[in-house]
């Protein structure tokens, strides 16, 4: 039996987490006493593992400052979630899309730069956690575009690369998919431009959830 696996990025693909990420990153830089990067620069690193993202945003900072920024970001994000101030809304049509795919026999997974705690908290908040069979995060893998997350998701699902689709909003997702021979499908509602996704090798970029469902038929 052919196993069809759809692996989704989280921030910028399933949920719009840009406000949460930008707020936590600005708070982290303030805590460490460094000037915070502008929001467009912060959005560019969404999808990367946190230590890698920090190095991109503060290339001239000391290693000790990088460590403190990582810790401060995690603390700020946790505080926002604990206080009920964290906003990570689902994009339009995503809940229905996931339910449709699950009901039609697709195995669903996530590959994200979030932590285990952050991803499970996000999915649980939206009542979607039980739909996913494999969750791959930055806690156990190198940062995208390294293929480790997608390789493990395929191993968990016993899915072949040709029967696997990686869906994401950044060039990192597309490059990861191409590295393992999986389908690389971009979404236009996230943080990288459509042309960037196509240049990275996306077979197509969906304009909305309905178009994404058609691409997966």
- Name the domain boundary from 67, 82, 97: 82
> How many domains, the chain?
2
Q: How many residues does the chain have?
A: 217
The answer to whether residues 71 and 103 belong to one domain is: no
Examine the fold and report which residue of 82, 107, 132 is the final residue of a domain before the chain moves on: 82
What mean pLDDT comes out for the span 50-59?
A: 94
- Of 11, 16, 163, 169, the active-site residue reads 11
Tell me, yes or no, whether 115 and 182 share the same domain.
Answer: yes
Average pLDDT over residues 177-188: 98
Question: What percent of the chain is modeled with pLDDT above 70?
Answer: 100
**Containing domain of residue 113, as a range?**
5-16+88-215
pLDDT tier at 61, thresholds 50, 70, 90: very high
Residues 104 and 164 in one domain: yes
Q: Are 12 and 22 in a shared domain? A: no
User: What is the pLDDT at residue 81?
Assistant: 85
Q: Are residues 98 and 35 in the same domain?
A: no
Model confidence band, residue 82 (pLDDT cutoffs 50, 70, 90)? confident
Q: Which of 58, 82, 106 is the last residue of a domain?
A: 82
Predicted confidence band at 47 (pLDDT cuts at 50, 70, 90)?
Answer: confident
CATH code of residue 165 = 3.40.50.1000
Judge if 112 and 173 occupy the same domain.
yes
CATH value at residue 57: 1.10.150
What would the two tokens of residue 175 be?
């490059």
Q: Collapse the DSSP code of 115 into the 3-class scheme (helix H, G, I; strand E, B; otherwise coil) and give the result.
A: coil
Catalytic residue among 9, 16, 163, 173: 9
CA angle 138-143-146, nearest 5°? 125
Note if 156 is an active site residue: no
Verify that 70 and 93 share a domain, yes or no: no
Is the pLDDT at 17 greater than 90, yes or no? no
Interhelix angle 50-57/63-82, nearest 10 degrees: 120
Query: What is the chain's Cα-based Rg?
Result: 17
Instruction: Give the pLDDT score at 181.
Output: 98
11 is catalytic: yes
pLDDT tens per residue across span 134-164: 999 999 999 999 999 999 999 999 999 999 9
Same domain assignment for residues 52 and 150: no
If asked whether residues 77 and 98 sit together in one domain, one would say no
Query: pLDDT tens digits, residue range 93-142?
Result: 999 999 999 999 999 999 999 999 999 999 999 999 999 999 999 999 99
Note whether 9 and 98 are same-domain residues.
yes
Domain co-membership, 53 together with 92: no
Return left, alpha or beta for 183; rule: phi > 0 is left, psi -120 to 50 is alpha, else beta: beta
Quick: pLDDT tens for 28-46.
999 999 999 999 999 888 8
- Both 112 and 71 in a single domain? no
């Amino acid at each position: 039996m052919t196993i069809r696996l759809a692996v989704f990025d989280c921030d910028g693909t399933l949920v719009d987490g840009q406000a949460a990420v930008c707020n936590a990153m600005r708070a982290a830089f303030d805590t460490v006493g460094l000037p915070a990067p502008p929001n467009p620069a912060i959005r560019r690193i969404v999808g990367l593992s946190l230590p890698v993202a920090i190095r991109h945003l503060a290339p001239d900072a000391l290693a000790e400052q990088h460590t403190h920024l990582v810790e401060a970001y995690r603390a700020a994000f946790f505080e926002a979630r604990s206080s009920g101030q964290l906003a990570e809304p689902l994009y339009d049509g995503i809940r229905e899309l996931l339910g449709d795919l699950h009901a039609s026999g697709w195995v669903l997974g996530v590959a994200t730069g979030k932590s285990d705690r952050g991803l499970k908290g996000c999915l649980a908040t939206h009542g979607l956690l039980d739909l996913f069979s494999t969750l791959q995060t930055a806690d156990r893998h190198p940062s995208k575009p390294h293929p480790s997350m997608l390789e493990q998701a395929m191993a968990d699902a016993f899915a072949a690369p040709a029967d696997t689709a990686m869906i994401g909003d950044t060039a990192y997702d597309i490059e990861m998919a191409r590295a393992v021979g999986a389908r690389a499908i971009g979404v236009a509602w996230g943080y990288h431009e459509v042309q960037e996704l196509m240049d990275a090798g996306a077979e197509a970029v969906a304009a909305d959830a309905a178009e994404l469902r058609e691409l997966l038929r």
